[in-house]
Amino acid sequence: MTVGFDPFLSDSILPDDSDLTPIHDREYRVRSYRLSPDRILIRGAVRDQKPPGLYISHDPDPITVHHMVVELEVSFPGLEIGRAEVTFNTFPHTTCSVITDHYKKLEGLSIARGFSNKVRELFGGPRGCTHTTALLLAMGPVAVQCAWSMRTFEAPDTGEPALKMGFNRDPDDDSWKMNTNTCHEWAEDGPAYARAAAGLSWGVPVFMRERAEKFGIEVGEPQ
């Protein structure tokens, strides 16, 4: 994979708002990086902005009111946090940033299961920064998504377009269990759970099937 350039789309993911008057913008950005075969870096940021002229009349520029950054270094495949760093770049009160070291309590936690509840327990309400804690709740699912990326990273290149991710998994692969009851699709009394528990293929996801068709790659029906 090429490094040194931004490989992701940067267009707005919100509906067109050209006929509306904006009064606030909150932006979450989370990105992950492969550090080594057994380590992942997850960076997250939250930023709140007010539009030009809202707080100071005739001010031509937007003003940032919150900007917090979180870095988590996570083991793979265990998804345990080995290092946590929190930085406050923009904040409203002089004492806001005294809480940053409190987030060192993230170190040693697993992101695989129960992470959101643990974050609320450790950093909810007066025990943390509202905006940083909200950011952490958005970062947890990204760590789980990274597991899929890490598993396909080393897949050999055949020299032509081909699906790099296999869906006919090894019968001993129980990594799917981390999805149990995380959403309606993976409810333990649902069809996806039943297929996985029986050792069957998960099927090719809709988004991958659509992209594969673009390259003329034949895949099965989505599950």
Q: Supply the DSSP string of 64-77, one letter for each residue.
A: EEEEEEEEEEEETT
Burial class (CB in 10 A: 0-12, 13-18, 19+), 131: buried
Mean pLDDT within 9-16? 91
| Alpha carbon 142 to chain centroid, angstroms | 2
CA-to-CA distance for 34 and 42, rounded, in angstroms? 9
Q: Model pTM greater than 0.85? A: yes
From 24-28, 96-100, 129-133, 151-155, the region with the lowest mean pLDDT: 151-155
The rounded distance, in Å, linking the Cα atoms of 88 and 183 is 32
Tokens encoding 177? 């269990």
pLDDT digits (tens, 9 = 90+) for 99-108: 999 999 999 9
| Tens digits of residue pLDDT in 25-67 | 999 999 999 999 999 999 999 999 999 999 999 999 999 999 9
Domain chopping of the chain, boundaries? 25-153, 159-223
pLDDT tens for residues 152-167?
887 777 788 887 765 5
| Residue 144 burial (CB count, 10 A) | 16
